[in-house]
Amino acid sequence: MDSKEENYINIVGAGPAGLTAAIVLAKYGYKARVYEISPDIGHRMNGDFQGLENWSSDKNIISLLKDIGIDINFLCVPYYGGDVHAPKMAPLEIKSEKPIFYLVKRGNTEGSLDNGLKEQALSLGIKIFFNTRFEGSSGKTIITTGPKRTDFIAVGITFDTEMSNRAVVVFDDKIAPKGYAYMIINDTLGTMATVIYRDRKNVKKYFKNMVDFFKNKKNINIKNDKKFGGRGNFFIRDTNVHNEKIYAGESAGFQDCLWGFGMRYAILSGYMAAKSIASGLDYDLLWKRELKPMLETSLVNRYLFEKFGNIGYRYLVKKFTKGNPRDFLKRNYNQSLLKNLILPIAKSRYKAEQTTS
């Protein structure tokens, strides 16, 4: 690397965290370069729908994205509820006055979040080097290379269907051990997937059970199905700055330990990484103030979710449908005295998963 190149802030990985960091840096007047190992953005996704969660803060996630300098130039559809299933009980319907999540498309497909962020970055003059592994070692670098290990896997299909728009969530260890399955339909396009935390070696069995469930219980017609899948990783460490390298997104362990809603963490931490460089603020202080309380609570939530199994799933489903589901989720995604007391037990339960290289 020559001295001229050292003026650039290097960003490794062109996922939501890396591209957000690049966009924010450019808006602060910095020169950023993004290095992506794959041939294009969104390589591990395949046009599947994902949910950008809108329950963990009072502020709407779309307003939050606009505040940090991200334009909504991608498909972004509010969902206000859906059907929830748990074993040995009739399905219940969730309804919320405010959107519970925003549907976004992932991968290198038209209208996807990944393409939207890429377009915003390119329009600000940021260079993205594809098929490139960053080898530089000097200068400020933001690392956003995604999951390092596997705490959960998600496998599913995208498909065409005549069914009307809907969202369905299923909690059942026979379909998604210690996780959940979901189906989202938007304008004749559908996504269904099972998110598996335990017994991952039997993924084929759970995938089949998931497809059978949606076919039998929801009478879904599936055409032109395409498979997709990936993994997720969560951990909490003391610092995310090592030798001038700032870690953001899932490569810093920023992930919703309970259910894997990691996009919000990825985008916000990418913003914080850029802001720390532009304003000289301590990155560790920023993420510890804004993200750590929720990360820790989500670890406790995962511990409790795994512990109570099907009985817990039924309790959860009933709670969702009583009162305001968004408020219920917000309360449970944020710190409480009880959860702070359980935190050391949850931390020791996931200790192996929490230690990183």
Ligand X SMILES: Cc1cc2nc3c(=O)[nH]c(=O)nc-3n(C[C@H](O)[C@H](O)[C@H](O)COP(=O)(O)OP(=O)(O)OC[C@H]3O[C@@H](n4cnc5c(N)ncnc54)[C@H](O)[C@@H]3O)c2cc1C
* Residue among 98, 140, 135, 110 nearest 47 (CA): 110
Contact flags string 213-232 toward ligand X, x per CB under 6 A:
----------------xx-x
Is residue 84 within 8 A of residue 321, CB to CB? The reply is yes
Contact flags string 15-54 toward ligand X, x per CB under 6 A:
xxxx----------------xxxx----x------xxxx-
Contacting range for ligand X; rule: CB under 6 A; set: 7-15, 210-218, 283-291, 300-308: 7-15
Contacting range for ligand X; rule: CB under 6 A; set: 157-165, 171-179, 248-256, 319-327: 248-256
Contacting range for ligand X; rule: CB under 6 A; set: 10-18, 58-66, 161-169, 328-336: 10-18
Contact status: 146 vs ligand X (CB under 6 A): yes
Note the Cα 307 to chain centre separation in Å.
23
Contacting range for ligand X; rule: CB under 6 A; set: 115-123, 196-204, 249-257, 296-304: 249-257
Question: Which residues 150-189 are close enough to bind ligand X by CB under 6 A?
Answer: 154
**Cα gap 111→223, rounded to integer Å:** 21
Binds ligand X by CB under 6 A, chosen from 8, 74, 134, 213: 134
- Bridge partners, 66 (sequence order): none
CA distance readout (Å), 312 to 10, 147, 180: 45, 28, 13
Long-range contacts of 75-81 (CB under 8 A, 24+ apart): 75/103, 75/104, 75/105, 75/111, 75/112, 76/52, 76/102, 76/103, 76/104, 77/102, 77/103, 77/186, 78/54, 78/102, 78/103, 79/51, 79/103, 79/167, 79/184, 81/167, 81/325
CB of 311 to ligand X, least distance (A): 26
**Cα gap 263→12, rounded to integer Å:** 17
Question: Which residues 52-91 are close enough to bind ligand X by CB under 6 A?
Answer: 52-53
Site size toward ligand X, by CB under 6 A: 35
Binds ligand X by CB under 6 A, chosen from 47, 116, 262, 325: 262
Contacting range for ligand X; rule: CB under 6 A; set: 65-73, 260-268, 327-335, 338-346: 260-268
Contact status: 332 vs ligand X (CB under 6 A): no
The set of residues, in sequence order, having a beta carbon less than 8 Å from that of 65 and lying 6+ positions away, is 72, 267
* Residue among 105, 113, 122 nearest 23 (CA): 122
The set of residues, in sequence order, having a beta carbon less than 8 Å from that of 244 and lying 6+ positions away, is 138, 139, 140, 141
Contacting range for ligand X; rule: CB under 6 A; set: 13-21, 200-208, 271-279, 349-357: 13-21
Nearer to ligand X, 63 or 219 (CB): 63
CB of 254 to ligand X, least distance (A): 7
CB of 65 to ligand X, least distance (A): 13
Binds ligand X by CB under 6 A, chosen from 66, 95, 133, 205: 133
> In degrees, to the nearest 5, what angle opens at C-alpha 47 toward C-alphas 259 and 152?
25
Q: What 3-state class would DSSP assign to 312?
A: helix
Binding site for ligand X (CB under 6 A): 12-18, 35-38, 43, 50-53, 133-134, 144-146, 154, 193, 229-230, 232, 249-250, 255, 260-264, 266
